[in-house]
């Protein structure tokens, strides 16, 4: 008896994130086909030709995480994508003569056979679904027929999820663009912040239990932290000098303005209880909180600040002090590191986030160079570039 796709879809939709939805469907698959030990969803970013781990479920709880590779570097998957066909591998040792890091990891976990299904949004490749087994020849035609039902449901959920996320990003992109035109912060600042936020999140993922899905949303929504600035008058937003107390209170209103804007968009899209919406709202609402209670708007202590907001706060402070502004020079790396550690020692910034960013020196430098505003690199970096 085939799976009832409507029942399965309703079960999956009860979860708030793709990781939970995939895990719920995997439980159902294993009840009928115990040999299916793992299901994984890997997203495709066409602008960079990049495959990146996104969500997975395995019976041993050992996921492949934080892995990315260019599709061009994996000819077998490139062929599947071009031909719009799934693939069965009955014996990985025989079939993968030139293994990738991904296939080497699969072998190290004793997986021996697999079923791979490309996922499309229209005619554009959007992701790959991997079904893996520790038994050779596990994916018989009867099993793949069942798995095609699961693959179709997961593909629909993923495409709908990413469409909602992209709509969310697009909807606030107008606000972000307006804020960028009216503020001293550049587009490169927002991109650098997103890059620094990803570095921190990946470094802390294992210790804090951050999923690849969470990291992806954090990277997408970090640049939206100040969208509420569209509601701040130009006389305050663009004032070249120091703000007085009344002006500062007005400027701080960009947080509740941004939260209301974000909530309206999330509600209109019907994704109020979704992980993506939660990450975005927490970034917008709490990125100005400081761990000693001196931040705003709620004066939260460190442990009460959502981790995504703590990450974005460190990324934002680092980019602010390492970049040139009309009123300041770009600080040297040594000065930036000292200031971040000083703020962490005062419990204003999360010390784990600070140290994670400092430790990622090579990647941090690469982001600063690739996304430079042109005049904000200190001499030590400019000379090396």
DSSP-assigned letters across all residues of 257-290: HHHHHHHHHHHHHT-TT-HHHHHHHHHHHHTT--
Q: What's the pLDDT at 72?
A: 92
Greatest mean pLDDT range, 146-150, 193-197, 322-326, 370-374: 193-197
C-alpha torsion angle, residues 199, 203, 204, 206 (rounded to 10): 130
> Which residues does residue 131 pair with via DSSP β-bridges, in sequence order?
39, 115
Cis peptide bond N-terminal to 297, omega within 30: yes
- Cα distance between residue 37 and residue 26, in whole Å: 9
Tens of pLDDT along 13-26?
445 688 888 888 89
Q: What's the pLDDT at 382?
A: 34
Q: What's the pLDDT at 375?
A: 55
Q: What's the pLDDT at 264?
A: 83
Tens of pLDDT along 213-240?
999 999 988 988 888 887 888 888 877 7
Largest CA distance in the chain: 72
**Mean pLDDT across 145-161:** 85
- Cα distance between residue 163 and residue 233, in whole Å: 33
Tens of pLDDT along 35-80?
999 999 999 999 889 999 999 999 887 788 889 999 999 888 999 9
Give the number of other Cβ atoms within 10 Å of residue 8's Cβ: 19
pLDDT for 291 beyond 90: yes
Residues 6 or more apart whose Cβ sits within 8 Å of residue 274: 16, 17, 161, 164, 266
Nearest CA-CA partner of 30 in 185, 187, 138, 170: 138
pLDDT-derived band at 184 (thresholds 50, 70, 90) equals: very low
Give burial (CB, 10 Å; 0-12/13-18/19+) of 350.
buried
Q: What's the pLDDT at 20?
A: 85
pLDDT for 384 beyond 60: no
Q: Between these two residues, 382 and 121, which has the higher pLDDT value?
A: 121
Q: What's the pLDDT at 248?
A: 93
User: E-assigned strands of the chain?
Assistant: 38-45, 50-58, 68-70, 87-89, 113-121, 124-133
Walk me through the domains of the chain, giving residue ranges and CATH numbers. Answer: 5-160 (3.30.450.40), 183-384 (1.10.3210.10)
């Amino acid at each position: 008896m085939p799976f009832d796709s409507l029942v399965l879809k309703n079960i999956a939709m009860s979860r708030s994130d793709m990781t939970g939805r995939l895990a719920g469907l995997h439980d159902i698959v294993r009840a009928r086909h115990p040999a299916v030990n793992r299901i994984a969803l890997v997203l495709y970013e066409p602008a960079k030709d990049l495959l990146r781990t996104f969500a997975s479920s395995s019976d041993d709880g050992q996921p492949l995480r934080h892995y990315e590779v260019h599709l061009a570097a994996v000819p077998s998957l490139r062929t599947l994508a071009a031909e719009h066909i799934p693939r069965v591998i009955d014996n990985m040792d025989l079939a993968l003569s030139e293994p990738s890091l991904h296939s080497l990891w699969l072998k190290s976990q004793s997986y021996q056979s697999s079923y791979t299904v490309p996922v499309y949004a229209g005619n554009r490749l959007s992701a790959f679904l991997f079904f893996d087994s520790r038994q050779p020849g596990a994916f018989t035609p009867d099993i793949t027929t069942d798995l095609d039902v699961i693959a179709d449901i997961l593909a629909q959920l993923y495409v709908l999820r990413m469409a909602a996320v992209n709509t969310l990003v697009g909807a606030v992109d107008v606000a972000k663009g307006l804020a960028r035109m009216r503020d001293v912060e550049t587009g490169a600042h927002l991109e650098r912040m997103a890059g620094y936020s990803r570095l921190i999140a990946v470094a802390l993922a294992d210790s804090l239990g951050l999923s690849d899905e969470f990291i992806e949303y954090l990277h997408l929504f970090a640049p939206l932290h100040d969208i509420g600035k569209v509601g701040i008058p130009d006389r305050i937003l663009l004032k070249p000098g120091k703000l007085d107390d009344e002006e500062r209170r007005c400027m701080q209103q960009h947080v509740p303005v941004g939260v209301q804007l974000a909530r309206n968009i999330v509600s209109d899209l019907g994704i109020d209880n979704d992980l993506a919406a939660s990450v975005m709202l927490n970034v917008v609402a709490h990125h100005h909180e400081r761990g000693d209670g001196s931040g705003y708007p709620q004066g939260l202590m460190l442990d009460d600040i959502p981790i995504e907001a703590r990450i974005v706060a460190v990324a934002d402070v680092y980019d602010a002090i390492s970049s040139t502004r009309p009123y300041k020079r770009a600080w040297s790396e040594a000065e930036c590191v000292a200031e971040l550690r000083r703020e962490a020692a005062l419990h204003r910034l999360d010390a784990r986030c600070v140290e994670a960013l400092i430790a990622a020196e090579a990647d941090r430098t690469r982001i600063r160079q690739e996304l430079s505003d042109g005049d904000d690199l200190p001499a030590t970096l400019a000379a090396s570039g």
